[in-house]
Amino acid sequence: MPYIKPQGAPERANRLGHVPSAIDPSVRRALESFHLPPASTEPPPIDELLVEAATLRVSGLPAPSFAISVDGSMQEVQVRADFPSARVGFAQVAGVFSKLDSFRPPPRGGFVDPREIAQATNADLVKGVVPTSVVTIRPGQTMHEAWRESVSILLRDSRLEGPAGISTSLAEVLAAILGAPELAVSEIVLERCPGRHDRGCESRNVTVPLGGSECHDCGTPLYFSDVTNTHDEVVEDGSNQTALGRLMSVLELLTFLWQIQIFAAADNGRLLPRCAFLLDGPLAMFGRPAGLKRPALKFLQKIHADSVAKGGEGLPVVIGIEKGGVLAEHANAIRQYIPPGFLLTLPDSYIRENVQHRSGNRAYGYDTDYGRRFIYRTLDGRVIVFSTPPVPNGVPTDDADRVDVNNYPALDALVGLLDRVGTLLYRDAVIPVALAHNFASLPLGTGSQVLTFLAQDSLGATRSAANPTGFGP
């Protein structure tokens, strides 16, 4: 990385600095040894994988009247530039409730009144800040210790509102997801003691109650939130954007799943079929928190089973919208080959051959996904990559050569929703997701400066210009 000049500007690269690499024979030999998959010039082999939306099994679900969308954002700001450089990270997750009927255009055409959209939308935010570099909760803590304790406090103190004014902490939500909607766990078992990072502790299968404890071998404080494993991606020196991103994904997951549970419990489950739940991003957990993907799927399938047992239609529209990544790029590349109103199923064999260009023993998303990916081209021509969970008891990666759409009984209502809630504000966009992003996003510029000043004033540091090191999508 470059040095910083006294004036604050980064060191400039030598204009001829590329020449040694460009003329080195070993560099050329290495490049020539690489494999580049051929660019596709022919229509993809998708004919047998296309399903016309009009032919999908009728689920019995009504067209959703309400949408609950969730999105998160993060930003790491520099509290102090002088040695030792110090940073904190802000994370924010929005849950947005929208009345979908207000998004319909007037009968004679024209635009939707923005005042009606504003009146039809309510948002709630989960907000938190964690130390990410040098800053700790108390003197003498390592970065791992400070991170773990701050995450525990964040999950303990952040609450989600439910029916009749009942609020639930994120820690309690986590306990429910690890257990069942109506039967939360009271303790968890950590595969390894977190004290291995600072004290070289080798203890395994450590039990931690909801209220926390300490390791019998090394004395490290243990927190229920350690089960998320976000601390495993914390580094002692430098920025912790990666860990902050993992924490944000955990907050999104907890908020998203609990919103579904709240509406499943409301009005004895009669409200649930009229709702659609949308997450900005795939139904997946990446990195060290990926261990939460199986409990997440089990949690959703239990809500489905409980609804069916009560005579309901099961899980309604639950969808993750994937706006970036390799599948979104692939969908855009083949959009002309997908007719409007058609669904493209994505068995693992297709993804391996046409997207990943590789073979292997593990299916795409095996360790991360709690929903299966699909591509849908809406009636108005938008192309959307989405994921949705299999019910009642399937797994998202169990179809190697052909996807059984019957494992996804809400697909007809799901694609119907995507046809209804498009927007021209962004390419291939969905209104509820765009609204969630609007509420959740932490902006650069003035927004960064405000958060920087807040952190500096709170920690007694001298005010300085914002220097954000990362922000969420």
Please tell me the distance from the alpha carbon of residue 27 to that of residue 43, in angstroms, as a whole number: 35
Strand residue runs (E) in 103-209? 121-133, 159-161, 167-169, 187-192, 204-209
Torsion of CA 81, 82, 86, 89, to 10 degrees: -10
pLDDT category of residue 460 using cuts at 50, 70 and 90: confident
**pLDDT tens digit string along 327-376?**
999 999 999 999 999 999 999 999 988 888 887 778 889 999 999 999 99
Instruction: State the pLDDT at residue 206.
Output: 95
pLDDT score of 238 more than 70: yes
In the DSSP assignment, the letter for residue 425 is: S
pLDDT score of 471 more than 50: no
Which of 24-38, 214-228, 410-424, 446-460 has the weakest average pLDDT? Answer: 446-460
Q: Using DSSP, state whether 206 is helix, strand or coil.
A: strand
Instruction: State the pLDDT at residue 36.
Output: 79
pLDDT score of 113 more than 60: no
Q: Select from 367, 391, 405, 225 the least CA-distant residue to 297.
A: 391
- According to DSSP, the residues that pair with 375 across neighbouring strands are 344, 385
Give the mean model confidence (pLDDT) for residues 75-84: 81
**pLDDT tens digit string along 260-312?**
998 898 877 788 999 999 999 999 999 999 999 999 999 999 999 999 998 88
Of 31-40, 230-239, 433-442, which one has max mean pLDDT?
230-239
Please tell me the distance from the alpha carbon of residue 130 to that of residue 366, in angstroms, as a whole number: 31
Q: Using DSSP, state whether 264 is helix, strand or coil.
A: helix
Q: Give, rounded to a whole angstrom, the gap between the first and last alpha carbons of the chain.
A: 25
- Give the DSSP H or E segment for 320: strand 317-322
pTM over cut 0.95: no
Please tell me the distance from the alpha carbon of residue 473 to that of residue 71, in angstroms, as a whole number: 9
Q: Provide the mean pLDDT of the chain.
A: 85
Give the mean model confidence (pLDDT) for residues 108-117: 53
pLDDT category of residue 447 using cuts at 50, 70 and 90: low
Q: Which residues touch 106 (CB under 8 Å, ≥6 apart)?
A: 112
